[in-house]
Structure 1
Amino acid sequence: MIKDFKAGIKVCQAVLVRVQKVGNSSNGGVFARGMLEDNSGRIAFICFDAMLVDKLRELEGPTAFMMGGNVDINKFNNDMMLQVVIQRLENLLPQDDISNLLPHGDFDVEAYKTKLANYIKAVRTPGLRMLLETIFSGATYERFVTNPAGMRMHHAYLGGLLQHSVDVTGLAVALAEQIEGVDKDLVIAGALLHDIGKIREISAEIGFPYTSEGRLLGHITMSCMMVQEAAAKLRLPSSR
C-alpha cells in the first residue's frame, strides 16, 4: 500500500496512474511524471524509460497498471517528498489483486438504501412518487447505489452518490420542516434527484473517470434530461 512506502525500498503493486506531464529532460532524454494512487493514499512518480514514457504519453485518463520501481526522495522538491521512480509498467491481468484500487466509504450501504426507499415512500404527490419510483429502478438504481459522487473532491468512493444524495435529502427535509408553506414532496424529489446525472457523468470503473458524455454535458444538464425523459415516459404534466 502506498501509505507504507519508504525511501530506499523496491515496490511492485497495482496502482492507478495519473499522468501530469510528459516532456524532454536536460540530458536529451524523455520523462513522464504524475501521481500514483491506491485506497491508502497518493505519491508522485517520475519515469525516464523511453518505452514506458511512450506508453504513458498515450493514456487518455487515469489508468490502472501493475507498477514496479524504487521509492526515492525527490531532491528537486523543497519538501523532500517521496516519489516512485517507475521501472516497470504492465497491463493488469484477470488474476491481479486490484481490491486496493476501488475506494469504499465508511458507511452502511444497506441502511442508506433503506433510507432512500423510505424517502420515496414518504412522497404523497402521485406524479412525483411515480417519477421517483421510475427513475430509481432497474439499471439506473444499480448505478445510483454504486457510483461515486465525484472523482476526487467529495464522496469519491463506491456508493458515494447514494450517501451524498440521501444526506442532502435529510438536511433539506429538516430545513423544510422549519419553514411554513414548503412543499416537502418537492423538496424530497429535488434533493434525491439533484445529482442523478452523475451516473452518466462519472464512471464507477477504476479511477472514476469522466465519461465522454459527462465531459460534454455535465451532470446538471444530464440530471434535467433524465428527469424530463422519465416524466415524458410517464406522460406527466409539465406543472403540478
Structure 2
Amino acid sequence: MTTDNPTDNSATPSPTDGSEEQVRKVYAKDLREKDQVNTVFRVTKKERVTARSGKVFLSVVLVDKSGEIDARVFENVEALEPAFNVGDYVLARGNIISFHGKSQVVIEGLEKLDPGPLDPKEFDAPPAPAREDKPAREDKPAREEAAPKTGDGHGGGARAVGQIRELVADRVNDPNVKALLLAFLDDPQIAAGLPHAPAAKGVHHAYRGGLADHLLSVMRLTLRVADHYPMADRDLLMAGALLHDIMKVAEISSDKGFEYTDEGKLVGHLVMTAQKIREKTLAIPHFPPLLEQHLTHLVLAHHGRLEYGSPKLPMTLEAHIVHALDSLDSRIASWVEAMQRDPNEKWTENLKLYDRQLWKGPAPTQRGRAPVERRARKDKERKPKERPEKTGAPAGDAPRAERPERAERPERPPREPRPPREPREQKEPREQREPREARPPREPVNVPKELTFKPFSVLTNKPEPAAKPEDGSDSES
C-alpha cells in the first residue's frame, strides 16, 4: 500500500496480500462534513462507552501532524474493538459528520498497520500554542488564577509547560531555587518529553500532556496554601510541586499505551529526580548543600508512606504540604475521570481501585451542579423560572416602585429661524376627461320581503286529521 500524495511523506503501509493499494493521505485539519475517509492515522484514545439507550460504541481519537479528530465506531463494535489499541497506526475508512459543531469520523472499517514503513513525525500532533494570559500576581485575588481543566488532555501539554515556566520566573524569589528549576525545564530530555508525557499509566492524568497539567495544578495549589500558612517557605513549596513527578518523562513512555520504560521499572522517578537534582546543583556555582538536601527530601518523601514507595517520611512542613497537595490533585483527577467514563446518572459502578461507588449526581444545594454534568443534560434539567403568583387585584392596583427623579436638563438655546422655502413650481393642469355615458337603469327584481319555507315532510305526506280529545272538547292544532 502506497500513498498518492507527492507533496508529503505520508503513510506508506506495507501490503498484506501482495498487492499495493494507493491511499491518498488527507490530514485531520482538512476533513469536512460529508467527506469520505480512507487514510492513515495514529490512535491516541480508545474507550468503550455505553449510551443511555444501552447501545455500546467506541470513542476514538485519531491524530496526525495537522491535529486530531474524534471518531466513533457504532457498528461491528465487538469485531473491531480487539483489532487495534492506543498507539497503533490504522487505516480508517468511513465518513465525516458534524457533531456539536466539530467534525467527527464515523468509522465503517479499520485496519491495523505495520509501523515499520511509516514516518512517526507525520503522526505527532502539533503542540497547542501557549495562551497569552499570565498567572495572577501576588497582589491579585487567588480566584483570578484559573485552575487547569481536569482531563481535557489532548494538546494542552505545551500550554501548561509555558505557564509553568511563567510561574517559576514570576513567583520564585530565591535565586538558587529559580536557577535549579529553570535548569530542569531547559534540560533537553525534560523539554522534549514534558509536553507529551502522561502523569500515570491509568490512575490519574493518564493522557498525553497530563503530567504538565498535574504539575501546574499542584504549583497553583501551593500558592494558595502558602498564603494560608505563611510559616511554610513558598519557594520550597513551588520547587517541590514542580520536581516531585517531573522525571516521569523518562519513567513512562508517551507511546504504545503508556508503558513503563526499563529505567522506570528498575530505578523509578523518585530516585531519577534525586539524581537529576545532584547533577544540576553541581553545575550551579556555590549552590548551598543544605538547600540541595531539602529539595531532595521533598522529592523522596512526596509519596508520604514507606509502603507507598517513599524512601523517607515527610519531616518538614514543606514536604508534608507537597505530599498532601499531590495526593489531593491526583485523587480528584482520578475520581472525575472515572465519573466521565461511567455511563450512569447518579452513582458510578463500584471502582475496584477505591472499593466504593462515587456520587456523580447534582449537589443537593441551590447551585445543584454535578461534578461532570453535561451540557445537554443540564438543559433538560434546567428548572423554569418562577413567576409571581397572580392575585385578584387588578394590575393597575399593584404598587409600582418610585422612579428616581431625573436630573434637570439644561435649557436648550433657541433655534435659529429657518429660511423661507422657495415657492413650488405650479404643475400644468390635467386635461379634463370626457363624461361617461349614463348607464340604463336596471330592471327591478321581484323579491318578497320575507321568505317562508315549508318542511319537506309537509310536501311529501298528506296531513292527518287532528285527533279529538277524549272529553269531547276541542284542542288547538
Partner of 1:188: 238
**Which residue pairs with 1:15 in the alignment?**
84
- Looking at structure 2, the residues matched to 186 and 15 of structure 1 have their Cα atoms a distance apart, in angstroms, of 45
After superposition, residues 1-240 of structure 1 pair within 5 angstroms as 4=73, 6-7=75-76, 11=80, 15-16=84-85, 64=88, 93-94=117-118, 105-106=153-154, 108-121=156-169, 122-139=171-188, 140-235=190-285, 236-240=287-291
> 1:148 and 1:189, CA in 2 relative to 1: closer, same or farther beyond 3 A?
same
Unaligned runs of 5+ in 1: 17-61, 68-86
**CA–CA distance in 1 between the matches of 2:87 and 2:237?**
39
State the alpha-carbon separation in 2 of the partners of residues 142 and 224 from structure 1.
Answer: 20
Tell me: CA distance 1:8–1:216, structure 2 relative to 1, closer, same or farther (3 Å).
closer
Q: Quote the offset at 1:132 in angstroms.
A: 0.6
Distance 1:145 1:116 in 2: 11
Change (3 A) 1:226 1:90: same
Aligned length: 177
Give the drift of 1:119: 1.5
Query: What TM-score does the superposition give when structure 1 sets the normalisation length?
Result: 0.60
Greater share of residues in helix = 1
> TM-score when scaled to structure 2?
0.32
Report deviation, 1:180.
Answer: 2.4
Please state which structure has a larger fraction of its residues in strand: 1
Query: What SS does the aligned partner of 2:84 have?
Result: strand
Q: Distance in 2 between matches of 1:107 and 1:2?
A: 17
For residues 153 and 207 of structure 1, the distance between their equivalents in structure 2, rounded to whole angstroms, comes to 13
Q: C-alpha deviations, 1:173-228, integer Å up to 9, x for none?
A: 21111012221011101101110120111112222211101001111111211112
Q: Which has the larger radius of gyration?
A: 2
1:233 Cα deviation (Å)? 2.1
Distance (whole Å) between structure 2 residues aligned to residue 151 and residue 12 of structure 1:
20
Q: Which has the higher contact order (CA 8 A, sep 6+)?
A: 1
> 1: CA distance between counterparts of 2:112 and 2:281?
52
Secondary structure at the residue paired with 1:177? helix
Q: Percent identity?
A: 28
Q: Which amino acid aligns with 2:164?
A: L
1:99 Cα shift?
6.0
Contact 1:155-1:164 within 8 A present in 2 as well: yes
Q: CA RMSD in A?
A: 3.8
